[in-house]
Structures are given as C-alpha cells and as structure tokens.
A and B are shown apart, each in its own frame.
Chain A
C-alpha cells in the first residue's frame, strides 16, 4: 500500500523558534497534500492544502505567515511553524491522495507531535 512518512515524529522547541516538519510520499506521487492539526482529545482539523508548484491554500483562521507550506516536489511537502508559541503545541498530521490513480483514499502520515516550551 501507499506510504506517507513524516519527520520528525516528535519535536520540542523553545518559544519564538521555528520548526520544520516534512511530509513525504514514499512510493507514489502526490500533487496535493493536506495538513491537519489535532489538539489533545480533539478531532483533526484541516489547516491547509499544499499544491505542488503553486501556493498553498489555507483554511479560515489559519495564519499563512505563521504556518509556511512549501510543496517543492511531487513527493515532499514541508510545514514550517514560525515563531512557535506554546499554543502551537499540537499533533500535526499530513495526508496525500495518490495523484497517479483514480483513488478516493487519503494516505496519512504517522504524525508529528510538537511541544513548544
């Protein structure tokens, strides 16, 4: 089956610093990837849609200057949390549909737990 990886799996950073999270599709190409955020004991909320070769589209209420998304290739999207604060501590999960197939399934990464101290 299709595999999506995320790196790092967990990260602790100090308030005010920036953190980059990578999402890779390992065995398929993904022109689109999605970034979700999950706070403790809550559901997943879509943050943004990452589009290869073009700007990401952000959901209402998500600051695009704070959460920078770069979809540099057909297999890699990165999310950079800039000037992180404790309220940004969350579980970040990416997903991707297989662009090469007519598939309605999203393949999810294992998630990245971010803790901002």
Chain B
C-alpha cells in the first residue's frame, strides 16, 4: 500500500519570501507524484507532476518540485510567494502504468502568505 506524509499542517510565510512544502511517500512499487492546490470551496488544480525523467519538475505559478528517490521525497518549492498563493496544498501519489489508479493524498499543508 502507498501512503503520503505531509509533515507540516500549516506554513506561515511573508510575501516574497521563499517557501518549501514537504512531502514524503512510501510505496512498494514505482510511483507517480503530484502536487495539487485547493482554494477555499473549490476543487483541485494540478500544480505539477513527476512521471519519469528529470527529477526537477517545473509547474504552474512559479512552483517547482524535486523528486528524490533515495529519500522518498517530493518537496514543493517557490522562490518568492505572493498573497494569492494562500491555499491548501496536497501532495498525492499513484501507482501503476495505466494511470487509472486512484490517487492517495497527503493530509495537506495550509500555506498562509502574510503581507
């Protein structure tokens, strides 16, 4: 079985500061990794995904993440955050090559950007 751990439930940060949201996973097989953002009372928006290839993945809104297989981590980073980045962020993992397996989500990290 696969699992995802997001170590920080809340991350407060000042505007224009860098931020890192941590994600660790466990799985007995190869995985595909995702980061989603959820704004209040809305669905999920895909930020970025790692399927294979380069371990540094760039996504939308200036976010990037690095896949580290030895540390089973997929931390999300942004060099300079904006007030509008305040939201809930979920790390997720899926297994298999068909892409039809459901996602297992972490517990989420609330990013609070302060002026």
Binding site for B on A (CB under 8 A): 32, 34, 42-46, 49, 93, 95, 97, 99, 102-106, 108-111, 113
Contact = CB atoms under 8 A, between A and B. Distances in A.
Contact of A108 (B32, B44, B49): B44
A38 to B, nearest CB: 9
Q: Say what secondary structure dominates the interface of chain A.
A: strand
B43 A104 contact: no
Given A44-B90, A111-B42, A104 B105 contact: no
A34 to B, nearest CB: 5
B40 to A, nearest CB: 11
A92 to B, nearest CB: 11
Contacts of B99: 97, 102-105
B17 interface: no
A103 B32 CA distance: 11
A104 B51 contact: yes
B108 A32 contact: no
A32 B102 CA distance: 10
B107 A43 contact: yes
Interface residues of B, number: 22
Contacts, number: 52
Contacts of B36: 108
B106 A105 contact: no
Contact of A104 (B32, B44, B45, B107): B32
B103 interface: yes
A111 B43 CA distance: 5
Nearest to A32: B100
A113 B103 CA distance: 20
A103 B34 CA distance: 13
A43 B106 contact: yes
B86 interface: no
A93 B43 CA distance: 7
Given A104-B94, A105-B99, A110 B32 contact: no
Contacts of A103: 99
B7 interface: no
A108 B43 contact: yes
